Amino acid sequence: MKILIASQDQFEARGIQWLLESSIRDIQVEVAHHAGEAIITLENKSPNLLILEMSMGQEEEAEKLFSTIRIIKPVIFSLTAEATFEAAKKAIDIGSRGLLAKPYLPQDLVQKVLALVKEIREKKGSKEQDPLIKSPMIEYNSLFLPSYKDPAQCVLAIIQPENASEISTLFQVTQEYPFPVRPKLYPLSSKLICLFEWKEEAQWPDIFKRFLLDWGNHSSENLSVFINVDIQSGKSVHQRYLDTNKTAKLTFFTGYSQVHTISEPIDWEFIDPFLTPSEQKFWIQSLNDGNKEEIQAFLFKEFLRFSSPYPDPELLRIRLTSILAQIRRYMKTFKLQENQHEKEYLRIFDAILKETVIYRIVQRLFIFITNIIDAVHTETNQLQHLDIIERCLHFIDLNYWNKQLDLQAVSDYVKRNASYISHLFTEKRNTTFRDTLNSVRVEHAKKHLFESDMSIKEIAAITGFQNQQYFSKIFYKWTGQTPTQYRSSGLKTK
């Protein structure tokens, strides 16, 4: 494929020559710096494509050049420094297939030229032998079914947009992009699979880094690329696809706009996704105290300081929902599970399940927690207008987990004498302070028995009881069942 660049500007012409030779395979590019040189090259070498600077030569020289062009009839693509009607009409008159006004983006020129090169080759009937569009002979079945084997060495890449709605644009751009070897493309609902014939000299990471830069001219959506160069292991293309697809989940930790080269599958590290009793106690206390700094430090340590080996992203999502459950209980305590707080809670829950990058989940979760704590602070100030016994009940519900919680602590909170508070419980609630506290603790214990896999001992500890034996005794008194019997009856009901 012969290409002639006719431009009086030597530096621009050489720059275009380098750009095309480095972007398109199997082309021969020559440069002419004046009209006479362009005429000689056209007559002697008959280039297939002429890239013509419209201001080439004086009027008489330009007319001779145009006459030669009409005789040789190359495919013409024009460049102009003046985006005027006259320049466009002149380009049309000589049969130019396109006109690009300066300044232009290099990739725009490459894409225009590449489209013309493909068209010329197809017309010449050499499509099957064209190295530019050669692709590995991989069938669809080979990629997705384990019983098929890879018949040829190939490079497998997954291009993953953050927004799945960009698949159509991504497919079109990839089809037209000047890769060293034309890929075979498999668009799926949320990713694009590319298969390339193996080329020893091809620098695939650099090729795809340039692709990411060029992609920015077509869309503002983020992409990540995962390139599997494992051609020595003898794995089928199906297994290599599974390995690459699994590794593509790394975007959950690293984000997008990156190129990853892999030669072996990633192994996720197992983590216990559920909060331990001590962690549950931390969340209860930190939320009650409104300690935003400690909460922020916990989230940062648990979810934003990962390195290889990475934990399984799905287990992390479960762990985040465990934290959200603690926040939910906190919201119910202050009756915040309504209106805008409830809507935002549901949005956070949805983000934990679907958001593609963990940093954004943690950021949104912390902002939500901050807003809830601030709302509770406002609510607490309003509690001062409630009667004394209601304020006592509120304090108990916040601190039931504390083994040291007693009548004196509650009395100090409402700034009243302990004997007076004891009298109020008997008079207004027809019960004692101790029975009220135990009742609250048992209700919370019931939730843990149904909603968690914690042992009876652990549940006793986080609900404020001194030991398991005392917990079982009080639980039986209030429910008529032991904790084990209660949990079993709940499982049967479910």
- Chain position carrying tokens 């384990």: 146
Same fold, 2-123 and 140-262: no
Residue type, 475: F
Confidence at residue 131, expressed as pLDDT on a 0 to 100 scale: 42
Among 93, 99, 65, CA closest to 80: 99
What is the Cα–Cα distance from 217 to 318, expressed in whole angstroms? 38
For the cut 70, the answer to whether the pLDDT of residue 152 exceeds it is no
Q: Which residues pair with 271 in a beta bridge?
A: none
For the cut 60, the answer to whether the pLDDT of residue 134 exceeds it is no
Residues contacting residue 354 through CB under 8 Å, at least 6 positions apart: none
For the cut 70, the answer to whether the pLDDT of residue 164 exceeds it is yes
Domain ranges of the chain: 2-123, 140-262, 281-370, 388-493
Q: What's the order of all strands across the beta sheet hosting 75-80?
A: 28-32, 2-6, 49-53, 75-80, 99-101
Q: Is 367 helix (H, G, I), strand (E, B) or coil?
A: helix
Among 303, 375, 382, CA closest to 342: 375
What is the Cα–Cα distance from 97 to 112, expressed in whole angstroms? 10
The count of C-alpha atoms lying within 13 angstroms of the C-alpha of 489, restricted to the half-sphere facing its C-beta, is: 9
Over residues 401-411, the mean pLDDT reads: 91
Say if residues 425 and 431 touch (Cβ distance below 8 Å).
yes
What is the Cα–Cα distance from 25 to 167, expressed in whole angstroms? 27
**Quick one: CATH architecture of 140-262?**
2-Layer Sandwich (3.30)
Q: Which CATH number fits domain 2-123: 2.102.10.10, 3.40.50.2300, 1.10.340.30, 3.90.230.10?
A: 3.40.50.2300
Say if residues 94 and 72 touch (Cβ distance below 8 Å).
no
Over residues 410-434, the mean pLDDT reads: 89
CATH fold of 388-493: Arc Repressor Mutant, subunit A (1.10.10)
What DSSP state is assigned to residue 265? Answer: -
Among 358, 255, 369, CA closest to 303: 358
Q: Is the peptide bond before 309 cis (omega within 30 degrees of 0)?
A: yes
- Chain position carrying tokens 């000689």: 40
- Specify whether the backbone of 234 is left (phi greater than 0), alpha (psi in -120 to 50) or beta: left
Confidence at residue 158, expressed as pLDDT on a 0 to 100 scale: 96
Question: What band does 148 get if pLDDT is binned at 50, 70 and 90?
Answer: low
User: What six digits make up the tokens of 276?
Assistant: 């331990």
Over residues 234-247, the mean pLDDT reads: 87
For the cut 70, the answer to whether the pLDDT of residue 135 exceeds it is no
Residues contacting residue 150 through CB under 8 Å, at least 6 positions apart: 138, 142, 235, 236, 237, 238, 240
**Widest Cα–Cα separation across the chain:** 114
44-67 pLDDT tens trace: 888 899 998 888 767 788 888 888
Over residues 223-246, the mean pLDDT reads: 87
What DSSP state is assigned to residue 183? Answer: P
Mean of the per-residue pLDDT values for the chain?
85
What is the Cα–Cα distance from 56 to 48, expressed in whole angstroms? 19
Confidence at residue 108, expressed as pLDDT on a 0 to 100 scale: 83
pLDDT > 90 fraction of the chain, expressed in percent and rounded: 34
What DSSP state is assigned to residue 58? Answer: -
